[in-house]
């Protein structure tokens, strides 16, 4: 059987945590980590989780996840201590006294995020706004929260069904999409799959059954392709870190099946081959070697290195006709791009401690989230929140090459208002990739969009409200409609009086 799940370690110990840190960071001082474990173990003494395990197992597994991501020891220590202020009599001040301001700041941030629950839409949206502000101030807080949530999902079976559903739904609709926007592909995938079986149990069983039925046959074929590409790479003297098959995650596969008539035979990347090389030039060299061996499918070569996704993801993708007409997807990236793809913003804490570089707190996607955090205050509907903040993002180019970040299925009108409100107000048409299109046509990543403006127009059409996707566009269209109605009433009232 293949590893669909990634369970936490059985009977984890402090030695496992220390060895994980030591493997990733040989120069790290482990003394404070050991002291933090002992501090947390004492604070949680006598507490038992619903699973029957001593409570200390949960923060320990949280810390191990953080250590596996090669994060700074302070983040790992905060993972060990993250539940202490909320579940014990120990205060943040005591944590600061024993472990310093940085650790206390992180623990305090996680404690605040722990209070976010589904408790009415207005209160929930306000809490989400606070989350985005906290993320902009220090993204490490939400990374710890992800690790905390991941272990909670692994033990979700011990909770009551209603709570299982609430926690899983919150994860699927809020936490996993945030992980995606931060480029944390591995975390996103695990959060989604662990939540999937509680939110959509019948669909989960169906998809898992499909994968199990088709996996062995496809695995054998992928191994043949892997052998062929290995030999060719050796002939061309291309040094690779690894060539391995990647099984498509269940929830991602489910979403793709819904777009392909629930026919798994139409899914080309149930198992994809991922090639990790040493440097950027080798990425393109490998792409050429693959295309020399097998014919690529038209339109399926995607260069996310030259044009990264909005969350920072970089990789080359190509889908090719291999032997016997079977279609196989390849993903090609260098080691740093691979770390970025797996861990996203967390990968920026993976540099060597000595002279290492911490990430700029104003990284683009974090800044976007902070800005959108202000927008959340004006949202009244969780569906709008999901579209504007959490839905999959696409990147659209202006004719000058500037990139606009929009939600999936956004239209030229959404794009026009994103460029400038005046462009949206005077929008009269659109060219997408040099072709005139209707204003309600959904855009795709990589499209080059030019808005045709009519300077004589006084505002947007009220009909656009039926197809635009972004809250920003909807608000501006509604505002103009209200002003137009008010102006009409002012003009009509005097004439009625006469």
Range with the lowest mean pLDDT among 5-14, 178-187, 424-433, 479-488?
479-488
CA angle 406, 409, 412 (to 5 degrees): 70
Position 122 pLDDT exceeds 70: no
Closest CA to 271 of 319, 313, 309, 227: 319
- Bridge partner residues of 242 (DSSP): 276
Do strands 295-296 and 427-432 pair parallel, antiparallel, or not at all (unpaired)? unpaired
Q: What is the pLDDT of residues 28-51, one digit of tens each?
A: 889 999 999 999 999 999 999 988
Out of 207-221, 319-333, 384-398, pick the least confident: 384-398
In the predicted model, what is the mean pLDDT of residues 398-405? 79
Contact 118, 170 (CB under 8 A): yes
pLDDT band at 453 (very low <50, low <70, confident <90, very high): very high
Averaged pLDDT score across all residues of the chain: 83
Q: Is 86 a catalytic residue?
A: yes
- pLDDT at res. 136: 64
Token pair, residue 393, equals 């993002």
> Is there a catalytic annotation at residue 374?
no
Q: What is the DSSP letter of 347?
A: G
Kindly name the residue from 53, 87, 186, 303 that is annotated as catalytic: 87
* 327 contacts 319 by C-beta, under 8 angstroms: yes
Q: Who wins on pLDDT, 102 or 481?
A: 102
Task: Give the percent of the chain with pLDDT over 70.
Answer: 82
Residue 124 has pLDDT above 60, yes or no: no
Give burial (CB, 10 Å; 0-12/13-18/19+) of 114: middle
Query: With 50 as the cut, is the pLDDT of residue 221 above it?
Result: yes
More confident residue, 380 or 262: 262
Is the pLDDT confidence value at 400 over 70? yes
- Among residues 384, 382, 406, the alpha carbon closest in space to that of 478 is found at 384
Residue 252's φ and ψ, nearest 5 degrees, are: -65, -40
At residue 451, does pLDDT exceed 90?
yes
N-to-C CA span, the chain: 85
Beta bridge partners of 303: 316
Map out the domains of the chain with their CATH numbers.
14-199 (1.10.3210.10), 202-348 (3.30.460.10), 392-497 (3.10.20.30)
d(CA 460, CA 483): 12
pLDDT greater at residue 132 or residue 285: 285
Residue with more model confidence, 113 or 40: 40
**pLDDT tens digit sequence for 144-153:** 999 999 999 9
Tokens 């709008």 belong to 384
Query: What integer pLDDT is reported at residue 223 of this predicted model?
Result: 86
Task: Report, as an integer, the average pLDDT of 339-354.
Answer: 68
Q: What's the mean pLDDT in 420-436?
A: 93
Task: Give the active site residue among 5, 29, 38, 86.
Answer: 86
Eight-class DSSP state of 54? B
**Helices within 200-279 (DSSP H only):** 201-235, 250-259
> Does 99 score more than 50 pLDDT?
yes
> Which residue has 């039926």 as its token pair?
466
pLDDT score for 498:
46
As a whole number of angstroms, the distance between CA 256 and CA 248 comes to: 10
pTM of the predicted model as reported, rounded to 2 decimal places: 0.77
């Amino acid at each position: 059987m293949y590893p669909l799940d990634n369970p936490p370690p059985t009977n984890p110990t402090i030695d496992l945590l220390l060895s994980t840190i030591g493997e990733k960071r040989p120069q790290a001082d482990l003394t404070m980590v050991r002291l933090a474990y002992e501090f947390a173990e004492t604070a949680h003494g006598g507490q038992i989780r619903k699973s029957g395990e001593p409570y200390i197992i949960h923060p320990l597994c949280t810390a191990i996840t953080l250590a596996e991501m090669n994060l700074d020891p302070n983040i790992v220590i905060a993972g060990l201590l993250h539940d202490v202020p909320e579940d014990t009599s120990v205060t943040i001040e005591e944590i600061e006294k024993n472990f310093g301001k940085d650790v206390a700041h992180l623990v305090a941030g996680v404690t605040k995020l722990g209070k976010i629950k589904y408790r009415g839409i207005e209160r929930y949206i306000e809490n989400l706004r606070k989350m985005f502000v906290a993320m902009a101030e220090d993204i490490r807080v939400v990374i710890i929260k992800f690790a905390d949530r991941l272990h909670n999902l692994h033990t979700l079976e011990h909770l009551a069904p209603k709570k299982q559903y609430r926690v899983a739904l919150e994860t699927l609709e809020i936490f996993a999409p945030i992980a995606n926007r931060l480029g944390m592909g591995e975390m996103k995938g695990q959060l989604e799959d662990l939540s999937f079986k509680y939110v959509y149990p019948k669909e989960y069983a169906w998809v898992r059954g499909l994968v199990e039925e088709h996996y062995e046959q496809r695995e054998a074929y992928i191994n043949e392709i892997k052998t062929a590409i290995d030999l060719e790479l050796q002939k061309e003297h291309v040094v690779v870190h690894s060539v391995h098959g990647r099984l498509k995650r269940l929830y991602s596969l489910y979403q793709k099946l819904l777009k392909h008539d629930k026919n798994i035979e139409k899914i080309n990347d149930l198992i994809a081959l991922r090639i990790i090389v040493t440097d950027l030039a080798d990425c393109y060299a490998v792409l050429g070697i693959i295309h020399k061996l097998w014919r690529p499918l038209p339109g399926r070569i995607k260069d996310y290195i030259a044009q990264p996704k909005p969350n920072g993801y970089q990789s080359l993708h190509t889908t090719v006709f291999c032997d016997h007409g079977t279609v196989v997807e390849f993903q090609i990236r260098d080691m740093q791009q691979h770390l970025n793809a797996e861990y996203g913003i967390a990968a920026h804490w993976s540099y060597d401690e000595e002279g290492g570089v911490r990430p700029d707190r104003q990284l683009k996607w974090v800044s976007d989230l902070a800005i959108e955090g202000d927008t959340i205050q004006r949202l009244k509907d969780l569906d709008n929140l999901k579209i504007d903040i959490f839905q999959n993002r696409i990147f659209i180019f202006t004719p000058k090459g500037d990139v606009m970040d929009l939600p999936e299925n956004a239209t030229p009108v959404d794009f026009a208002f994103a460029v400038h409100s005046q462009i949206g107000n005077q929008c009269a048409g659109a060219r997408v990739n040099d072709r005139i299109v209707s204003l309600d046509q959904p855009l795709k990543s990589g499209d080059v969009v030019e808005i045709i403006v009519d300077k004589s127009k006084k505002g947007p059409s009220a009909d656009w409200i039926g197809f635009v996707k972004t809250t920003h566009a909807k608000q501006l269209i509604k505002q103009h409609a209200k002003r137009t109605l008010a102006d009409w009433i002012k003009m009509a009232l005097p004439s009625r009086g006469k």
